[in-house]
């Protein structure tokens, strides 16, 4: 009797597995009549999940807005979410699954430079499209990747020159040990050499490390004016806190800090530091006013709208614009072609996609954190800056 039961259960499991498999392949064909499938590839766990949650919130908000307004060509956008747990190898794997199994028209996603570079060969091999929403170190150009975040000539170059004029000449460069900080620091050294600044130190900590005691010692001995930082995630938060505990006087200038990170750091540690990104919550334009209002209504988890949220948002909005411009919104090649020169009235201003290198024309903004821990925008580029990939 037991044997028969076991056999029956095994058969039932196999049969349902078969059914599920069949159902999946039938439904995962080219988008149905009423929907277009878009892949969304972010991490909900692991080291980069804090930043990716922000990108994801922005993308989700954009999809809700687009679908509420009727979708693209009358079709609703159906998102297929894949979580790659901060592992670049998994990102490539999930991207492949999205393209081949789910047959998405395009993917919006990835965050760290390691992840996007791992996904690049996959989207190029299968001639798909990835919209990359995060600012990064540049030096990556692909017909199959559209980057809507800032690259060094829109961020670091302006920041370094502004700091040299207004904050000091001796720089200590610091970042986590992977491609993004290494390339950014290499470029920073070039900008400093041209602008008359000096590099008194350059340190890389293990990715995700939160112990900065030896680095802070080196900073103390080399006595810089500016600590130029591309630290991200937990390392970034821990660095500000320990910097405050050690009572150093150099000014921190960050390419990555945002409003939500500032809440984790606390006023004492973040006071008087500088940040340079393309968007801050208090940018003044009507699109941003509406955007911040909607963010506060829809997302009530104690976070703020940051440049990462806006990156995820703009990426999805640009994609919808390209899909609308294309004749068939589920034809990836048409969407890729439609990106050239595409414009968008975004929370960070009126921006556009460059017709040649698949990157975005963006504004550059520099802010100082005041004594109350609030962000004051002290510089805004008069118009958008063309990206040099």
Partner 1 sequence: MDSFLALVLNGLDSSALILIAALGMVIICGLMNVINLAHGELIMIGAYTTFYVTQVLGYSFALAMVAAALVTAAAGAVIEVVVVKRLVGRPAETMLATFGVSVVLQQTTNLMFGAQSQYVAIPVEGKLAFGKVVVPYYNIFTVAFVAAVLLGTVLLLKETRFGKRVRAISQNRGMAECLGIDSSLVDTLTFAFGSGLAGLAGALVAPVKSVSPFMGSPYLVTSFMTSVVGGVASFFGTTVGSLMVGESTALIGGVSNDVLANIIVFLMIIFAIRFKPEGLFTKKEGR
- Residues forming contacts to partner 1 in the complex (CB under 8 A) are 44-47, 49-50, 53, 177, 203-206, 208-211, 213-215, 217-218, 220-221, 233-235, 237-238, 241-242, 244-247, 260-261, 263-266, 268, 301-303
C-beta of 219 vs 351, nearer to partner 1 = 219
Token pair for residue 34? 């009423």
Residue 44 dihedral angles phi and psi, to the nearest 5°: -105, 0
CB of 238 to partner 1, least distance (A): 5
H or E element that contains 244: helix 233-245
Q: Which two tokens stand for residue 126?
A: 């299968």
In the complex, what is the shortest distance from the CB of residue 33 to partner 1, in angstroms, rounded to a whole number? 36
d(CA 237, CA 260): 11
Residue 131: DSSP 8-state: E
Please tell me the distance from the alpha carbon of residue 134 to that of residue 298, in angstroms, as a whole number: 22
Comparing C-alpha atoms, which of 48, 189, 187, 50 is closest to residue 114?
48
Nearest Cα neighbor of 134 from 344, 310, 365, 342 is 310
In angstroms, give the least distance from the CB of 310 to partner 1: 16
Strands 274-277 and 365-369: antiparallel
CB closer to partner 1 out of 57 and 157: 57
Identify which of residues 57 and 137 has a Cβ nearer to partner 1 in the complex. Answer: 57
Residue of 27, 31, 43, 14 whose CA lies nearest to 73: 31
The dihedral formed by the CA atoms of 339, 348, 167 and 215, expressed in degrees to the nearest 10: -70
Look at residue 324 and give its three-state secondary structure. helix
To partner 1, the closest distance from the beta carbon of 244 in angstroms equals 8
Taking the least distance from each CB to partner 1, the nearer of 140 and 176 is 176
Residue closer to partner 1 by CB (options 74, 302) is: 302
Q: Minimal distance in Å, beta carbon 43 to partner 1?
A: 9
Cβ proximity to partner 1: between 147 and 205 the closer is 205
Least distance in angstroms from the C-beta of 163 to partner 1: 24
Q: Is 381 helix (H, G, I), strand (E, B) or coil?
A: coil
The least CB distance from residue 369 to partner 1, in Å, is 14
Which of 195/266 has CB closer to partner 1? 266
> How many Cβ atoms are within 10 Å of 314's Cβ, its own excluded?
27
Shortest approach of partner 1 to residue 112 CB, angstroms?
Answer: 15
Q: Is the CB of 247 or the CB of 371 nearer to partner 1?
A: 247
Sheet strand arrangement including 145-147: 76-83, 35-42, 106-109, 130-132, 145-147
């Amino acid at each position: 009797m037991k044997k028969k039961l076991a056999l029956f259960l095994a058969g039932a499991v196999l049969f349902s597995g078969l059914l599920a498999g069949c159902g999946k392949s039938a439904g995962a064909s080219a988008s149905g009549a009423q929907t277009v499938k878009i892949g969304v590839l972010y991490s909900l766990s692991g080291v980069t999940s804090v930043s990716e949650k922000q990108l994801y919130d922005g993308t989700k908000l954009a999809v809700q807005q687009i679908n509420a307004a009727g979708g693209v060509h009358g079709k609703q956008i159906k998102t297929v979410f894949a979580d790659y747990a901060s592992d670049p190898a998994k990102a490539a794997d999930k991207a492949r699954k999205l393209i081949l199994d789910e047959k998405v028209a395009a993917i919006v996603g990835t965050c760290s430079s390691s992840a996007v570079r791992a996904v690049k060969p996959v989207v190029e091999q299968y001639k798909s499209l990835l919209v990359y929403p995060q600012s990064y170190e540049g030096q990556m150009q692909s017909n199959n990747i559209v980057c809507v975040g800032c690259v060094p000539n829109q961020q670091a170059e302006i920041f370094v020159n502004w700091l040299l004029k207004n904050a000091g000449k001796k720089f200590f460069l610091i970042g986590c040990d992977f491609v993004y900080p290494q390339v950014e620091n290499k470029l920073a050294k070039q900008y400093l050499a041209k602008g008359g600044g000096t590099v008194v130190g350059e340190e890389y900590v293990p990715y995700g490390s939160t112990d900065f005691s030896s680095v802070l010692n080196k900073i103390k001995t080399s006595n810089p004016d500016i600590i130029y930082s591309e630290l991200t995630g937990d390392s970034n938060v821990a660095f500000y806190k320990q910097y405050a505990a050690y009572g150093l006087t150099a000014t921190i200038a960050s390419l990555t800090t945002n409003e939500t990170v500032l809440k984790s750091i606390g006023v004492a540690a973040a006071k008087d530091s500088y940040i340079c990104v393309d968007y801050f919550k208090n940018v003044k334009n009507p699109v941003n006013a509406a955007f911040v209002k909607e963010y506060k209504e829809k997302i009530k988890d104690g976070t703020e709208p940051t440049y990462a949220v806006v990156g995820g948002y703009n990426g999805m909005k640009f994609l919808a614009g390209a899909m609308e411009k294309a004749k068939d919104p589920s034809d990836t090649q048409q969407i890729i072609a439609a990106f050239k020169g595409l414009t968008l009235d975004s929370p960070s201003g009126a921006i556009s996609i460059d017709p040649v290198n698949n990157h975005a024309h963006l504004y550059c903004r520099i802010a100082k954190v005041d004594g109350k821990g609030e962000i004051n925008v002290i510089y805004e580029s008069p118009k958008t800056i063309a990206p040099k990939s």
